[in-house]
Each structure stands twice: as C-alpha cells, then as structure tokens.
Structure 1
C-alpha cells in the first residue's frame, strides 16, 4: 500500500497529496487514528480523506486502514537504498538484491487474487493471445509469449507501436490482449488497447493501480512499484511484471489439465535431442586439436 501511494501521489489532487504525505510519514499512527484526526492533521476535510482512500484503490476509509495494516504486518521492507558512485561491489549487490526482494514481496502481498483468477480463466479460454509492451515492458511481453505458445494457444508479442496498433484492429471476439506498462500512460499502448476493445477482444493489463491503462482494461493486475526510470532502465518493475506473467502461465497450464502436460512433455523430449551430453563438447574439441 505504501508503494502504491507513493506511485500514485503525483496524480492525486493537491489536497489528497496532503493525506498521502501524512500516511507515508506516519503509517503506524494512521492505522489507529479516526477519520476526523487524520483529516485534521493533514489539514483537509473528511470527504477528502475518503476520496484519497478510493483514489488508491480502496472502497473506503476502513478498507484502506485494513490494507495499510496488512502492508505493515507483512514484513516486507519498505526501504529505498539508492546506489551511489562510491558504493563498493558488495554494497551495490546488497542494495539491488534487497530492493528486488522487497518489490516482489510487496507485489505478492497486494496482488488481487480475484483478478488473477479471472485473468487465468480468460486466457485459458482465449482463441488467441497477443502481448503488447514497449522498451523493458516489450521484453516482458516477449518472455510471456515464449511461455504461452508452448500451451498450444496462438500467441504473438509486439513491441512496435505501429505493429500492435494494426494488429489490434483485426482481432476477433475471443481474442485477448495482455498490455504491459509500468506507468500505464503510454499513448500508443493505450490506443492499441482501445482498438482491441473496439474489435471485441478483452484486455488484461499489468500496470499501476489507477493508471489510464488500468481504468480501460477488462481485467487489471496491479504492480505498484516505486522506481526512478529517468536515470536507469526499469529493473524492479520488470521483475514484478515477469513474476505476474509467470503466475498467469502456471495458472493457465493447470487449467488446461493433463492434455497440456503430455504436450509439454513431448516438447521437452524434443529439446533434449538438441542438447549435448556431458563431455561431448570437450571430446569434439580434442579431436579437432
């Protein structure tokens, strides 16, 4: 919840940002405080506090406090340790790993399981699945396509906006688009998602809560990750997106049952034929020498 609030803060109204700042600064105090106290300390009205709760994806004030309490009790560290030019390799490695672990725990603890179940059912019943993403999200889309095509579902991954824009217009009902975006605000991706919906397809998004992409999607899976993408390429958000696509792939595989298991086993046997046995490469080199 804290990661979600920080991610959404720039998009909130100025009065709602005051509530966000109070929660981020003193989350434990907010859990035990009544609505009137929070409004007074933030310098806003009580209806503003309720609007803030809804803006971060909760149904109301009590629902928000429950989610916040769950976040603090989960044990997931909410610590951002930025790297610096003076970091030694050991410190650098620790910071990167700690941030990655923290991000995965946060996403796991706040993933909407009902939405995951709906997404798995939708993908398992799809006649065609297309994955859209740009940049680092495009790499996630390609990885997801690599998982899903082995299940016998016609799949493709596009990371070019012109290409997925054209592809979205010719989709048929029964098709599903999985749109992946850290910000959920890329215009080309939003337009392709809209075109897919107009064509009768369903759109599953993996993105930030409250983003334009999440709002127009048939099903939205939230990956609220606080990350500075202005300097470095997205790292922790990419890992969160990969983990969510793994959950979907495993869920669809289990949904499709024993028939798919036999198909995957056949694929594995084919791969084994393409691998060198132990010592084969060494003996070949010796013969050439």
Structure 2
C-alpha cells in the first residue's frame, strides 16, 4: 500500500522527498522503530521535508504514516510473535534491545509532535483550576495516578479514581473554575467519552492526553496533548502508549513546576536533600 501511494505521488515529490521515499521502500522493517529525527538524519534532510512527504501521501503526520506502514508489513503466520517484532524465542538480550528501541522511538515521536500552544494552555488550566479530576482506564489510569501524586506536591485539589462511577459523581460537582483530565490511548474508551460529555455539559474545561488522529475524545476536550499513535490494538504490553503518555505528563509537570516554583517547593527540595544526606554529628 505504501509503495503504491509513493508511486502515485512520485511526480509531485522534490528531490529530497524522493530520496526519503526510496529509503522508506528499501528499509521498511527498520523504519518501525525509527523516529522522524533519525530518519531525517540518515537522509540528510530536515524533519519538515519528511512531514511534507507524509502530507503528500495523504497522512496528517509521521505518526499516522508509521501506523499505516507497520500495518502494511506482512505478519509471520505463526504463534511466535508477542508484539511488534519481539519473538517468543528471542534471547533476553535481544528482547531488552527491542524494548529499548521501542521506548526511544516513542519518546522521540512524542516530542516531535508536541503542540506548544496546547501545552501552554493546559498548564494555565491546571494552575488556575480550583479542583482537578483525572481519569483513565488500565495503564492510562496508572499514568493518571502518577499525575495526581505530582500535582499534590503543589497543593492542587486533585482526585484520580479508577472507578468511572465515582469519577462521574466528582465531575458532577465541578464548574467552569475546575478541570477534568482524561487519559486514553485510543481516544474512544466509552467511560472516558461519557465523562468528557458530562464535563462539557457542565461547562467544565478539559484536557485530553490521547493519540494523534481524530477521535471522540479529541473532539470533546478543550485542549488535546497528543501521544504517539503507532501502537497496535492487539499489543499485550502497552509499551509505546505508556511511555508516550509518561513523556507528555513529564513535559506538563516539569513546565508546571517551573512556573509554580516558590519558597515552599525550594524548602521541599532542601528537606529531601537533608533526609538523603544527613549532616554528620561532631563529637
């Protein structure tokens, strides 16, 4: 499918775009764990060139292109594949190497698609909100709990529950001065969609952390922070989506802490240092 699309738009490609296109055709397998920065570096072009190529092929970005690319790669007709290119018979060192490649690729991809405007607005919403309710299902919920824990450090009134019914009750008490944060890789998780609809009805601002592309969640949220979208639905271990979500949360929190840094946070840092390296008593 990818090769067919490349042939169709070949006459519209610049010399640099054509170079990247031929590289993609010849290195399809290797491209699965390759970030846009790495692809650009190997071809001595800018990431903008690659994004233009993706656009001419009919994709919204590099993430959407990779999803289609991975889906077009012939799968082995056996039961030895765990996920991606990790084989059940792989030795421990090979598995570790492949997991590392997946994690690095997810981080690079996430940072390449970050929307600075949306990130800034999300930070402002968190700073100005009186109450915050966070919700996610499965591993997304665990990422939500980490976000909750960190926001407590700056004394935010924040709740993250795994129970959608409890979360629904909490959201029903919120107003325009509060905030709902939804974390969902697919962007179509039924509970997440319903909770966002409830927030919208109550005029409560919302932030969605979800994969690139159109979804119910991305259309309902006030601001959307995108994660990488190349994780296959059949994966057993959500390595890519979880790492991508954590990367977004880390960017969000680090910038938030910088804006909120004050004497109290400085004291927390100093006290933590004292507990770790207590002063030696002198005789």
Same fold per superposition (TM over 0.5): yes
Which of 110, 114, 129 is equivalent to 2:132?
129
Aligned counterparts of 2:4 and 2:158: Cα–Cα separation in 1: 45
Unpaired segments ≥5 residues, structure 2:
14-51, 64-68, 71-82
The CA distance in 2 between the partners of 1:156 and 1:225, in whole Å, is 27
Deviation for aligned residue 1:262: 1.6
In the superposition, relative to structure 1, how do residues 263 and 65 fare at CA in structure 2: closer, same or farther (>3 Å)?
farther
- The aligned runs of 1:1-289 (5 Å cut-off) are 21-22=1-2, 30=9, 33=12, 64-65=55-56, 71=62, 81-208=84-211, 209-256=213-260, 260-272=261-273, 275=276
Contact preservation (8 Å) 1:172, 1:201: yes
CA distance in 2, matches of 1:206, 1:28: 35
1:218-241 per-position Cα deviation (integer Å, ceiling 9, x unaligned):
011111332234341312101111
Q: How far apart, in 2, do the equivalents of 1:66 and 1:271 lie? A: 52
In 2: Cα distance, 1:180 partner to 1:168 partner: 15
TM-score, normalised to structure 2, is 0.69
Equivalent pairs, count: 224
Deviation at 1:278, TM superposition (A): 11
Q: How far apart in 1 are the matches of 2:193 and 2:237?
A: 21
* Matched residue SS, 1:151: coil
Indicate if the aligned counterparts of 2:9 and 2:57 stay in contact, CA closer than 8 A. Answer: no
C-alpha distance in 2 between matches for 1:207 and 1:69: 15
Q: How far does residue 70 in structure 1 lie from its aligned partner after superposition?
A: 8.1
Counterpart in the other structure of 2:23: none
On the 8 A contact 1:177/1:203 being kept in 2, the answer is yes
Query: In the alignment, is the contact (CA less than 8 A) between 2:161 and 2:167 conserved in 1?
Result: yes
Query: CA–CA distance in 2 between the matches of 1:70 and 1:199?
Result: 33
